[in-house]
Structure 1
Amino acid sequence: MTRLAETLLDGIALGSVYALVALGFTVVFKASGVMNFAHGSVLLLGGWVVAATHGAVGFPFAVLLGAAAAAAASGLLHLLTARGLRGAGAHVATILTIGADLVLLTALARAIGADYLATGDPWGPAVVRIGGVHAAEARLAGIAVSVALIGAVFAAFRWTRWGLAMRAASADEEAAALMGVRLGRMRLTAWCAAGALAAVAAVFLAAFPAPGLDRSTGQLALAAFPAAILGGLDSAAGALAGSLAIGLAGALAAGYQDALGAFGEGLPGIAPYLVMVAVLLVRPSGLLGSKEAVRV
């Protein structure tokens, strides 16, 4: 029973961090209709800046610098792709993000090298005991920070002009523009916010029990991609639900792969995609995604 409780806690912690990344996918898609495949590289950039600067400025300021760098990179990516291709369509911008991902990932791989980089987080390998369950402090901190940031994003969706503009543009872009919504500013802000969230996620993806930040950390964002698809690309609440489902599936697969024998080998890596496919077979629009009306 203790093993199950610890596995579920790990799943919730991973799902919470995945939610920061998946929410970035969703925010960008709602704002501009683009699936940003360079999001993993932006995440890696933010984590690398934290690792490179924490020794000089301290961990809190390093996280702020990492979030600022990732936000700037994501905003620049928007300016170079989506905003510059108004006549070509969002699908062309989506393809260009793949090329941008390759360029940025190659540069970061050279900068990071083959080593694991420490981000200087204050939790380290500390473990606390809650009842009979052992939990890493970094996992608990990840849950707390993710809940706070996700709550802030949902509050912005609900009570700010930016959130109102995004909801209006998502419903009818042309009508929103006619009503005075500045689509360019709204989209740029959305891309920057997604980058900042990804940088914070990088810190917890590299924290204990992970050995640190390395060239493959950005690939962990791929686990959040099926979470965004699973929840419904146009639904922020769906991104949260999908991330928790993916996190729990991955943790359960990793925690019990020994009991599955040969079937458990490699299962943690494909578990997110198995869950995504299983749900999409029943609900093609995702858990909370809106269904498109089709006239025949």
Structure 2
Amino acid sequence: MVGWGFTLLSIIIIISFVFYPMIQAFITSLRSGMGNNMKFVGIENYKRLFTDTIFQKAVINTLIYLVVQVPIMILLALFISVLLNDKALKGKGFFRTAIFLPCVTSLVAYSVIFKSLFSNDGLMNKILLSMHLINSPIQWITDPLWAKVTIIIAITWRWTGYNMIFYLAGLQNIDPSMYEAAKIDGASPIKQFFYITVPLLKPIILFTTITSTIGTLQLFDEVMNITEGGPGNATVTISQYIYNLSFKYSPNFGYAAAVSYTIVFMIVILSLVQFKVAGDDK
């Protein structure tokens, strides 16, 4: 009873602000209409998903961001953390702070800055032109392919430092004697990385992969502020489409709730796959 007494407040808060809204959202996904005039339509909203071309485009775009950006970010964060864990490196504190700082900046502010940097007459094009790497400005914002590249660069820049912190914490908990023994046995730094560092960081790699997957499936701010989903829905994500259905188009909260539950479904499936691939049966 004493234990339940300590946890009772937390349980009430979690039920009130997590599980109750989830249940209400699912009930809403089975209804259609506006305001208080919503009526029960069963699974009609879910059937509509299979014929909604914009939704299908949003899913494809979101999966492209997931498949391309998350592996790049995880590998980059792991590589940087190994470099910054080197005891011989001077100024480690400065570099760690500099790489971590992007993830504490305002989402809207940094998105607007990226939009300016990657505009037709922005700094990125000026640098590339001055280095004679391109002959004409790249349409970073208005070209469907380059717009996706811009979004990927933006979210990689912001979240790499966040994942790096987890890897640094894990690396500092690895006994240095393991590396010393491997070095004595003639193991190269590359072999030490793949046979000592990666296996021992496996739980953290799994954790960061799952959290990064969830974050990418919920991607909204960067797309909304940099490309607004354009050109021609070329960069629209599932979360932005939910926003459009709720506040930009004719309000349809029932269908928007159904779309939101596709994110829940995708997160559950991908998390289970990642646990299975990682060999974690717990």
Which protein has greater RCO, CA pairs closer than 8 Å, 6+ apart? 1
TM-score, normalising length from structure 2? 0.31
TM-score, normalising length from structure 1? 0.30
